[in-house]
Amino acid sequence: MAKLENLHFNIVLSLLGGWLSIFGLVSYLVKEKLFISESLVSLLAGAAFSPYAANLVDPIEYTGSRVNLTGVTLNFTRLVLGIQLVIAGIQLPRRYLAREWRSLALLLGPVMTLMWATTGLLVYLTIPRLPLLHALAIGACIAPTDPVLSSVVVKGRFADLNIRKDLQRIIVAESGLNDGLGYPFLFFALYLIKYVGDGGQAETGGLEMAVRMFVGQACGYVVVLSVLYGVLVGWVAKKLLRFCDECGLIDHEYSLAFAVPLSLFILGTCDLVGSDDILACFVAGNVFTWDDWFRLKTQDEVTLLIMRSSLQPTIDTFLNVAIFMWYGLVCPWNLFVENDTIPFSHLIMLGVLILLLRRLPYIFAFQSLLPQIENRKEAAFMGFFGPIGCSAMFYLYITMDFVNSLNPNGGENPREDVKFLREDVRVVVWFLMTCSVVVHGLCIPLGKLSLKFKRGIRDSLVSGSSSSEAGRQSFWGRRTRSAGASDSGRSPEQQPLLI
């Protein structure tokens, strides 16, 4: 048995190490030239290695059971989200959450509520057998924008050339906060399912108990406690790091990597008390640099080179590649076609509707109240690039674990009213996550290709005119300076995307 377990472990190590090595060799071409996200490439690589393709790794056989596989995937997701969110919180400017509280309150309040309601309604209308409360639970899994995939979009060469810093920061802050604030939306539906869904037959208390659990447990204990805990841990960590630095007790390299052990500590301690570890990680990261001491401390050229060109991008890339390769391995690809929930054609339609209607209309509607958005093209970008990824997987497994507890008298079979909920949420959330990774991963390269094609047609039509007299536009439609201006020193690869 030990040899068999070692065999599985060695196969996983070989595939993961081999894929990381191969992807690393062409990473500049894929990410900086073709603008294809590592998340999409890694998801497809995991699918190719999975039991549904090459069958090189069977995750269930490796983990021992489907229950163990669920636990491994959930905890792996928690690990990636926790580290990414602490780093995201640290990268935001001084007192950013306090200075931009109006915009964030709008995005986390009305906009996120509308995203949740719209997603739930679309799921309810697409799947006839699904009760409204079940659809709202699925909608809560999908509503938060994913911080892992958002970081792919707002970082790197494409973002540096085409996305203003204000827009990058508000997207990062929103995705970090609403990822943790998905708890109230999810448990509002789950507590109603538990106490009202079967007419109050299995659980006593009814609607009153559901509201009390939602306000006291989900909003109070989980969300408020996690915010307070994140503030406390971030403040203490900042004070300790500054004290040790002033006393010469900590070396330079460890201070740069301090975010990783900090995130691990928060993940472990928060989960022990049953609070929202994801939200606490982001809050702690932001409080850690609340007075900008850490950022100002690391403003010398060598440190900037390490942080921006090596350490943090390396952590981001490694985590993205690893988690989405794992998702490709464990994704129930066969259920998209063979399930009792929804036909595949309806799944495709649901995916299109979710990507178009879940977020985009509301960003347009509130554009005038968001000073970070200067024009409708930026509103379209922010509205469309609200990806579904690791956060959806996190809430998916939280939902499945909650449904497992709805079994009368501690039996193995769930209640009659939720006997299909596990399969329903599993099929829909997995498919929508896959759709988001594929669509958002290909939008930028396809858009770049279409701009080149349009530019080629235009140049062929005006080939007789002087290139110095031809006006060019950037990705956002702003006029750029001609080749004789200060951009003349850039290489072709460094020029902004033009239309």
* Residue pLDDT, tens place only, 347-384: 999 999 999 999 999 999 999 999 999 889 899 989 98
- pLDDT score for 19: 84
Place 139 in a pLDDT band, splitting at 50, 70 and 90. Answer: very high
Q: State mean pLDDT over 144-161.
A: 77
Give the three-state DSSP class for 138.
helix
Counts of helices then strands in the chain (DSSP H, E): 26, 0
Q: Report pLDDT for 311.
A: 61
End-to-end CA distance of the chain: 61
Burial class (CB in 10 A: 0-12, 13-18, 19+), 91: buried
Question: Which pLDDT value is given to residue 371?
Answer: 92
- The angle subtended at Cα 358 by Cα 353 and Cα 359, nearest 5°, is 135
What one-letter code names the amino acid at 489? G
Least confident interval from 182-186, 391-395, 492-496: 492-496
Identify the DSSP state of 474: B
The least confident of 38-52, 386-400, 453-467 is 453-467
> For 473, phi and psi rounded to 5 degrees?
-125, 150
Query: Six-digit token pair at 496?
Result: 């902004």
Query: Would the pLDDT of 412 be above 70?
Result: no
For the chain, the average pLDDT equals 82
- Tokens 């699925």 locate to 138
Within a 13 Å sphere around the CA of 67, how many CA atoms are in the beta-carbon half? 2
pLDDT digit string (tens) for 193-243? 999 887 777 787 788 899 999 999 889 888 999 999 999 999 999 888 888
Q: What is the DSSP letter of 50?
A: S
Percent share of the chain, pLDDT over 70 = 85
What pLDDT, in 10s, does the model give residues 21-73?
888 888 888 877 777 888 899 999 999 999 999 888 888 888 888 888 999 99
Q: Above 50 in pLDDT, residue 302? A: no
Is 327 in contact with 59 (CB distance < 8 Å)? no
Q: Average pLDDT for residues 320-343, to the nearest whole number? A: 91
pLDDT of residue 489 exceeding 80, the answer is no
Q: Assign 309 a pLDDT band (cuts: 50, 70, 90).
A: very low
Question: Is it the case that residue 332 has pLDDT exceeding 70?
Answer: yes
Alpha-carbon distance 48 to 393, whole Å? 20
Residue 492: band (very low, low, confident or very high) from pLDDT cuts 50, 70, 90? very low
Look up the pTM and report it: 0.86
Mean pLDDT of 397-401: 92
* Dihedral sign, Cα of residue 263, residue 266, residue 270, residue 271: positive
